[in-house]
Amino acid sequence: MSSSEWSAFVGELGDITPLNQDTLAHRTNPDRDAASLAAKRSAAETPAQDSPLYLSLESVDLLHPDDIVGYKKDGVQEGVFKKLRLGHYPCEARLDLHDHRVEQARKALLDFIRDSLRQGHRSLVVVHGKGERSQPQALLKSYVSGWLKQIPQVLAYHSTQRHHGSTGSLYVLLRKSERAKQETRERHQSRLG
Nearest to 91 by CA among 74, 106, 112, 107: 112
Say if 190 falls within a structural domain: no
Say if 88 falls within a structural domain: yes
Nearest to 102 by CA among 122, 83, 128: 128
Angle of helix 102-119 versus helix 139-150 axis, rounded to 10? 40
Say if 100 falls within a structural domain: yes
Say if 128 falls within a structural domain: yes
Say if 6 falls within a structural domain: no
Q: Could you read off the pLDDT of 61-92 as tens digits, one per residue?
A: 899 999 999 999 999 999 999 999 999 999 99
Determine the average pLDDT of the residues in 12-32: 63
Q: Could you read off the pLDDT of 143-167 as tens digits, one per residue?
A: 999 999 999 999 999 999 999 989 9
Query: How much is the pLDDT for 26?
Result: 54
How far apart, in whole angstroms, are the C-alpha atoms of residue 193 and residue 169? 43
Q: Could you read off the pLDDT of 23-48 as tens digits, one per residue?
A: 655 555 555 566 666 665 555 444 44
Say if 11 falls within a structural domain: no
Q: Could you read off the pLDDT of 133-142 as tens digits, one per residue?
A: 888 899 999 9
User: Does the reported pTM lie above 0.85?
Assistant: no
Three-class DSSP category at 40: helix
Say if 57 falls within a structural domain: no
Q: Indicate the number of domains in the chain.
A: 1
Q: Could you read off the pLDDT of 97-130 as tens digits, one per residue?
A: 998 999 999 999 999 999 999 999 999 999 999 9
Q: Give yes or no for residue 49 having a pLDDT over 90.
A: no
Considering the chain, what is the average pLDDT of its residues?
83
CATH of the domain at 136: 3.30.1370.110
Nearest to 167 by CA among 128, 139, 134, 113: 128
**Which residue segment(s) compose the domain that 129 sits in?**
62-181
Cα 35–116–36 angle (5° rounding)? 10
